[in-house]
Amino acid sequence: MRLLFLGDMVGKTGRTAVWERLPGLVGDLKLDFVIVNGENAAGGFGITEDIFLETINAGADVVTTGNHVWDQKEAVVFCERHDQFLRPANYPAGTPGRGSNLFFARNGARVLVANIMGRVFMHPELDDPFKAAETILDACPLGEQADAIVFDFHAEATSEKQCFGHFVDGRASFVVGTHTHVPTADHQILNGGTAYMSDAGMCGDYDSSLGIDKEEPLNRFISKMPKGRFEAASGPATICGVGVEISDRTGLAEKIAPLRLGPRLSETIPQFWS
């Protein structure tokens, strides 16, 4: 199975780039399943229902989120209407929406996708992510109810992300980090067969501070005084993500490589798909 994950879409420039390029990628790379993190898609803060639907229409099978999931208040309502929209699974019981769900890929495989949020340097501090993952895996084990399992681990600390990867190694197909908006160089297959990358990077303008127009963040670092609001950068976007080849027999990863398309970072497409 060919799976593509795209990192956090940031603002109009990021989401537009994904909408324009994703349909072609699905066809050209013969993708079976696509996941996109959309939590910064609305001006850098949250996601609206229209943006979610446009992302699905462009070819995403699932849209994940993170700590900004509720920044757009309408998300509290529309999250209940869409099975393909995920918020972190380790929110307390009774939180609207769902944190994981089982989907069918284009090749017929059953794909469990779970959105988990870390706790180190993160706000709000949610329930134990490791216990949440254990509950999800117990309910839908790889090779039984699921042919592939993917975790979007939305967290700040790379140590927490790496430990989470090791925690589910051999029990999940792929663990990918989001939130820090900078693509890491540690894509690998762990000892038990789980593909791992600490951060997929963002889909947005890299001439920025994490996708935000750089002037106001820079001002606050220097003066400690706000002059205005944070606004999403509006320059040309670079799409960042990661591709994984998953065994149809075992549900574990066979290959992993980054995908980057755009003007700022060196362009690369997983060679095993070229």
Task: Say what the pTM is.
Answer: 0.98
Torsion of CA 88, 149, 242, 207, to 10 degrees: 0
- Determine the pLDDT at residue 273: 84
pLDDT tens digits, 115-143 = 999 999 999 999 999 999 999 999 999 99
pLDDT tens for the chain, 274 residues: list them: 999 999 999 999 999 999 999 999 999 999 999 999 999 999 999 999 999 999 999 999 999 999 999 999 999 999 999 999 999 999 999 999 999 999 999 999 999 999 999 999 999 999 999 999 999 999 999 999 999 999 999 999 999 999 999 999 999 999 999 999 999 999 999 999 999 999 999 999 999 999 999 999 999 999 999 999 999 999 999 999 999 999 999 999 999 999 999 999 999 999 888 7
- Determine the pLDDT at residue 233: 98
Question: With 0-12 CB in 10 A as exposed, 13-18 as middle and 19+ as buried, what is 262?
Answer: buried
Radius of gyration of the chain (CA): 17
The mean pLDDT value of the chain amounts to 97
Return the structure tokens found at 174: 């792929």
**Region for 97 from its dihedrals, namely left if φ exceeds 0, alpha if ψ lies in -120 to 50, beta otherwise:** left
**% the chain with pLDDT above 70:** 100
Torsion of CA 199, 201, 207, 212, to 10 degrees: -80
Rounded to whole angstroms, the Cα distance separating 147 from 105 reads 10
Are the CB atoms for 162 and 198 separated by under 8 Å? yes
Q: Which of 68, 154, 181, 187 is catalytic?
A: 68
166 included as an active-site residue: no
- Determine the pLDDT at residue 39: 96
Best CA proximity match to 273, nearest among 251, 248, 237, 243? 243
- Determine the pLDDT at residue 31: 98
pLDDT tens digits, 180-191 = 999 999 999 999
